[in-house]
Structure 1
Amino acid sequence: MTVTIEHKNFHSPGMAWDIAGDLYLPSDFDSSGSYPAIVSVHPIGSCKEQTSGNIYGQALSESGYVVLAFDASHQGQSGGEPRLVEDPTRRVEDIRVAVDHLVTLPFVDDERIGVLGVCGGGGYSISATMTDRRIKAVTSITGVNFGRLSRESFSGYDPIGAMETMGRQRSAEARGEQTRIDNLLPESVDTAKANGINDIDVLEATDYYKTPRGQQPGGATSAAFSRRTAAMGWDAFSHAEQLLTQPLLVVIGDKPGGFGAYRDGQEIYGRAASPDKELLVLPGVSHYELYDQPEPTAQAIAKAVEFFGKHL
């Protein structure tokens, strides 16, 4: 099916920069119609042209949905200074801003808006859904709680020590030193293995982001070191037992890796107050296979289409 992609910038009133988005329109699109819509949220260090757009956005649009995939503030083609900041609070607000844009479109039914997120985008989508009742259903694809990940392996299991170092670096930058930008991944799979790295998530992330398989100009896989404290005190699942009442679909593979999507998926499924929640565990599937590999993504997409069809 032929899907039309419209590139557009949008923002909320009072916002100092634009967010860059791709609006996916179904093949039978009629501007006088009324369509269900889905916000598609990219992973940590990713961009709208990667899995959130070209895989899930494309497929959901082919199934009849208007889909908005966008670059996070401070990343990709979106505005926001400083650059390469991964701030969970800002990422969640970006989702609300995307919903703000959708409700202004005359062909979007504002009572049928959902959100889908991949990896860190899954955690952000769940958090946004708890506090934005305009979102009627949420799907997390191999979702990760970036706050938990930041406190654990991303800080070397020493969050206090890491924040002390980050604080000193931020002070140095405030005094005029150059911003420290960290590459979050090895340069290649071979380099990773040569350095003794054997975690499946790190190796597969490197294969996705550092090769033509998934590499895109906006997918920096880099972060401003001094700004990473923003994630340390954040929790994607905070208050889920009380506030997450909308329908929830969690899709994970059963091959666990260091980024923790398997454990996070099990946790949020158990904790969510949603009376209508589903957990799909795909056997023999890893985190990054759910980014773009045909068979796992086809299973995830089929389930997401069924789920959103029921609730939107």
Structure 2
Amino acid sequence: MSSPKHVTYKNLAWDTAADLYLPPDFDENNKYAAIVSTHPIGSCKEQTAGNIYAERLAKEGYVVVAFDASFQGQSGGEPRYIEDPAIRVADIRFAIDYLVTLPYVDEKRIGAIGVCGGGAYTVNAAMTDHRIRAAVSITGVNFGRLMREGFSEYKPVAAMEAMGAQRTAEARGAKRNVINYLPDSVAAGKAAGITDRDVLEATEYYKTSRGQKPCGMTSGLFSFNSGAMAWDAFNHAETLMTQPLLVVFGDLPGGFGAYRDGQEIYARAGSKDKEMVMLPGVTHYELYDQPEPVRKAFEKITPFFAKYL
């Protein structure tokens, strides 16, 4: 498998940085189905969305683009570290805009896949851009719900008041408050009394050589997080989510909520063709890169995209 091709393309008022994965026997004179692969919150294109899912899908014959979110990684946009769901979903639309300019991409066979927060963003993008013909959510997390609940300690109004005060201070020249979503290490997390499976496994993935990448910052600009508070990834899913949908998650729940979010979107989606895969004995972060859970996921992903793309 050759290395992905680094590309850039226009977003709103900045450039998106992306990696383009091509099939092993790629021929620019052929037409290929294409897939957009969206990374988790606090992640980057070189992590699970790229080096696991995009790379595997390219081996199976797809043209795949894995991109850095706006304001994050190598993509443009200021200030840095904004995690705004509306813009994150727009990023997926811009990735499709890029794909349809490629002469070897069949615009009628474009799919989308996302991991963690990227999974729920993918569902929302499919609802609002029907150029996406089939969508896959891998251990998807609804960031709006997570912000209203765990990330705000179930006090969303108090959190928004604090964000507003911080944004006012920054507008007047104060230093920006960039928060790290995770402890510095698993040991530090346990020492601080953290017991949640997802937080500790996320730390083991992002803060060690297992998954750590230079652009995977696991950081967010606190003062701009209010943009997620009133957002819901699954709003209008009953009406707008009509494309084929595959939802994959493990049955060992953690604090980020993929277990509940996966069941919710499966129940609510208006898709006539939809499938929920709950993998026994699998956790959220094992689906990022662990061989056996990923293999089980692809047992469903491969025939799904083959059928609908």
TM-score (norm 2): 0.99
- Three-state SS of the structure 2 residue aligned to 1:287 is coil
| Whole-angstrom distance in 2 between the partners of 1:117 and 1:180 | 28
Secondary structure of the equivalent of 1:281?
Answer: strand
Correspondent of 1:289 among 280, 286, 290: 286
Which letter maps to 1:8?
V
User: Using the alignment, how far apart are the partners of 1:42 and 1:3 within structure 2?
Assistant: 21
Measure, in 2, the Cα distance between the counterparts of 1:82 and 1:198.
Answer: 33
Query: Per-residue displacement from partner, 1:69-98 (whole Å, max 9, x unpaired)?
Result: 000000000000000000000000000000
Structure 1 counterpart of 2:164, which letter?
G
Structure 2 gaps, min length 5 = none
Residue 3 of structure 1: how far off its partner (Å): 3.8
Question: Residue in 1 aligned with 2:303?
Answer: 306
Equivalent residues of 1:3, 1:62 under 8 A apart: no
Which residue is 2:150 aligned to? 153
Distance 2:269 2:13 in 1: 34
Which segments of 5 or more consecutive residues in structure 1 lack a partner in the other structure? Answer: none
Residue of structure 2 in register with 1:11 after alignment: 10
Q: What is the CA deviation profile of residues 234-287 of structure 1, one whole-angstrom value per residue up to 9, with x for unaligned ones?
A: 000000000000000000000000000000000000000000000111000000
* 2:135 alignment partner AA: V
Superposed, 1:160-309 pairs within 5 Å as 160-309=157-306
Correspondent of 1:93 among 86, 90, 97? 90
Query: Does 2:44 correspond to 1:53?
Result: no
* AA of the residue aligned to 2:45: K
Deviation at 1:4, TM superposition (A): 4.4
| 1:209/1:215 contact within 8 Å kept | yes
Match of 1:140 in 2: 137
- Matched-pair identity in %: 65
Q: Is the 8 A contact 1:3 1:58 kept in 2?
A: no
Q: Distance in 1 between matches of 2:200 and 2:117?
A: 17
Q: CA deviation at 1:195?
A: 1.2
- The one-letter amino acid of 1:171's match is T
Name 1:77's counterpart in structure 2: 74
- Give the equivalent residue in structure 1 for 2:113: 116
Give the Å deviation of 1:303: 1.2
Report the Cα offset of residue 299 of structure 1: 1.1
- What's the TM-score, normalizing by structure 1? 0.98
4+ runs of 1 displaced by more than 3 Å?
none
SS in 2 for 1:251: strand
RMSD between aligned residues: 0.6
SS at 1:55's partner residue? helix
